[in-house]
A and B are shown apart, each in its own frame.
Chain A
Amino acid sequence: MPDAITPEAGAHVTTLGSGFTDNPYLPDVATVLETVQETPAIKTLRVRIDDAARMDAFRFNPGQVGQLSLFGVGESTFVINSPPTRMDYLQFSIMRAGEVTAALHGLKPGDKVGVRAPLGNWFPFEDMRGKDIVFVGGGIGMAPLRTLLLYMLDNRADYGNITLLYGARTPGDMAFRDDVQDWLGRSDMNTTLTVDQAPDDWPHRAGLIPHVLLDLAPSNANSVAVLCGPPIMIKFTVEALKKLHFADEQIITTLERRMKCGIGICGRCNIGTKYVCVDGPVFSYAELKELPNEL
């Protein structure tokens, strides 16, 4: 066999973009400013993109996600849980579950991460103006709600009554303690906390989220409910909201999938014709009902 014709190595080197804006696989390098151990399983990272011009130009809407990566370990998808009204840093809260999340838990201030963001759709915060908002968060599901809630508090006059029901297994599993203290003390919102297992000195509610929600019985009139949490909580919370006469269109939630590219190409996160990374992660319950039954 004669030798094949192959080009000289390096004869046709092309640069495939200089950053996330012209190469959607190329992360912006960012630095960890601060970390917060929220609970034994949840750690918050506050990061800034190193390129100051890119950080200044960074825009996103509440609910959009990012691919956060540790070079040499891998990437995973997390919601940007700081609001777009507070751009000192981008905040991600990570529940330890697998290899990448375990490695992210080991980060210290000054460490470098990769950020590909913003990705995906967002909560319909514009359509929600003038309405009463009912937030229902379970466990790490409080993270996507946090960005929208803080956005609304920073634009308080645009929204009606704000109700928050936040639940976790135990008091020690509640994240965002400083925020929660602030929310409990505010007169312009109603905050209820609940845990599955309450110690004697727990001053808040005990019981599963759907039960507490039925007890609180928020009105469906001119309201939107925003839910986030584990699949089993979503299922029963939707049932509770139906009992409270919330229409499918009044219920908004987010979906999770094992995503890779985050830009609708790699084929990993489809549910029928929808790709959670670009068509989601935010869906109304009305939209979810149209999808094939593959949640």
Chain B
Amino acid sequence: MSFARYIARGELARALDLMARGRVAYAPRREADAVVFRPRAEGEEPLLARATVPPKGIIFPQSERLFAFIREKDPNDPGHTTVRLDATADIPPALIFGGRPCDARGFHIFDRVYLNGPHRDPYYAARRDATVVVTLACAKPCSTCFCHWTGCGPADTTGSDILMTPVEGGFVAQAVTPRGQEVLEGASLPEAGADRVMAAEAVHSATLSALEAQNPAPDLSTTPRRLRERFDDSGFWRAMSDKCLACGACTYLCPTCYCFNITDENDGGDGMRGRRLRSWDNCMSSLFTREASGHNPRMGKALRLRNRVGHKFSYYPDLHEGIVSCNGCGRCITGCPVSVDIREMVVRATEPSEETPNA
């Protein structure tokens, strides 16, 4: 990250205008009780607060059209119809400003599945490719933050194109990717200089120290294995899920939850036009795994919560070089109506269980 520019506090809106030229720029904005990402207008001062909802939906929309279907009467055989599929999508160049490192790392968790798995997802790939991610490093942790447990951190650059760090009087903007550097070069910003870069690095380490002081990171190196061993410990999972309402708010607020459903929708009663959609899905719902026969391999919220925690802290790391698919943003804790705490579940699952004291 040797390419660093400086943005004075009063110049932020103008700098964002220049960085986002030709792109739709999303930035945090307050709406009712929530801070959400919305397209910003030229000159609009962005909110610097952390958003209630991560910017995931800009690249992975909550619901998106996979294709439209159009049936037409076959002129040669009026008793039958032909079907035409339209798989076009309107994907403008975009820029996300003001996500935090835990948000940007979420895109990396997606990339491993959506871009680098056995099949490439063309919808995600097109939006990811069209979107510049400008991330704001955290200067002050929230009480529910635990990014430093997960391999993420308050200045993690994974998934970002540019990392901006608040320093006295303004921001240091460091290029993470060549594309990020291009965007910074195009905005003709002054060089940050060695002193300001050092100041930014001091912010990074001070925030990390504050996180460690409020909530020291436990050793989670054995967690994938311990979760496998806990799989049949139904008493443990019942206790962990006791107060869970299975509402799924945690999945919608999570920057790494990437599961989806596919459904069809008709434009009218005649079935001549409609579309196939994919929409965020929620593993806490019984329909997530219930088969048409009625058989459900995950009966009850305890088994569903077991899969949710297992996926993030055991299965995903086993498949992806130890990388945990939780970035410690803590939104599932703050957003949970009954305060189910994933930190507690992971720590307790990692502790040796009573039945196997020597494990």
Judge: A and B partners, yes or no.
yes
Interface string of B9-31 (1 = CB under 8 A from A): 00000000000000011000000
Q: Which residues from 1 to 39 on chain A have a C-beta closer than 8 Å to any C-beta of chain B?
A: 1-7, 9-18, 22-27, 29
Q: Are B274 and A71 in contact (CB under 8 A)?
A: yes
The distance from the CB of B244 to the nearest CB of chain A, in whole angstroms, is: 18
Q: Are B69 and A72 in contact (CB under 8 A)?
A: yes
Q: Are A266 and B118 in contact (CB under 8 A)?
A: no
Q: Are A6 and B24 in contact (CB under 8 A)?
A: yes
Q: Are A258 and B117 in contact (CB under 8 A)?
A: no
Q: Is the interface of B mostly helix, strand, loop or mixed?
A: mixed
Q: Are A264 and B298 in contact (CB under 8 A)?
A: no
Q: Are A26 and B298 in contact (CB under 8 A)?
A: no
The distance from the CB of B77 to the nearest CB of chain A, in whole angstroms, is: 7
Interface size on A, residues (CB 8 A): 60
Q: Are B88 and A266 in contact (CB under 8 A)?
A: no
Known A-B contacts A97-B293, A231-B295; the reply to A264 vs B122 at CB < 8 A is no
Q: Which residues from 58 to 105 on chain A have a C-beta closer than 8 Å to any C-beta of chain B?
A: 69, 71-76, 97-98, 100-101
Known A-B contacts A231-B295, A268-B289; the reply to A29 vs B231 at CB < 8 A is no
A273 proximal to B (CB < 8 A): yes
**Bound-complex Cα distance A18 to B43 (A):** 40
B83 proximal to A (CB < 8 A): yes
Q: Are A267 and B119 in contact (CB under 8 A)?
A: no
* Centre residue among A1, A14, A97 by max chain B CB count within 10 A: A14
Q: Are A101 and B292 in contact (CB under 8 A)?
A: yes
B113 proximal to A (CB < 8 A): yes
The residues of B that contact A24 with a CB separation of less than 8 Å are 119, 121-122
Q: Are A72 and B274 in contact (CB under 8 A)?
A: yes
Q: Are A16 and B122 in contact (CB under 8 A)?
A: yes
**Bound-complex Cα distance A15 to B83 (A):** 18
Interface size band for B? 35 or more
The residues of B that contact A231 with a CB separation of less than 8 Å are 295
Q: Are B263 and A23 in contact (CB under 8 A)?
A: no
Known A-B contacts A5-B41, A72-B69; the reply to A14 vs B91 at CB < 8 A is yes
Q: Which residues from 1 to 55 on chain B have a C-beta closer than 8 Å to any C-beta of chain A?
A: 24-25, 38-44
Of the stretches A151-159, A174-182, A204-212, A287-295, the one at the interface is A287-295
Residues of A at under 8 Å CB distance from B? Answer: 1-7, 9-18, 22-27, 29, 69, 71-76, 97-98, 100-101, 110-112, 114, 231, 256-258, 260-261, 263-268, 270-273, 278, 292-295
User: Please, could you name 30 A-B residue pairs with CB atoms under 8 Å apart, sorted by A?
Assistant: A2-B44, A4-B39, A5-B25, A5-B40, A5-B41, A14-B89, A15-B87, A16-B126, A18-B87, A25-B66, A25-B87, A27-B85, A29-B82, A69-B264, A71-B271, A98-B292, A110-B79, A264-B118, A265-B121, A265-B258, A266-B259, A266-B261, A266-B262, A267-B259, A267-B283, A268-B259, A268-B281, A270-B311, A272-B315, A294-B231
- Ranked nearest first, the 3 interchain pairs of A and B with the lowest CB-CB distance are A267-B259, A98-B292, A97-B292
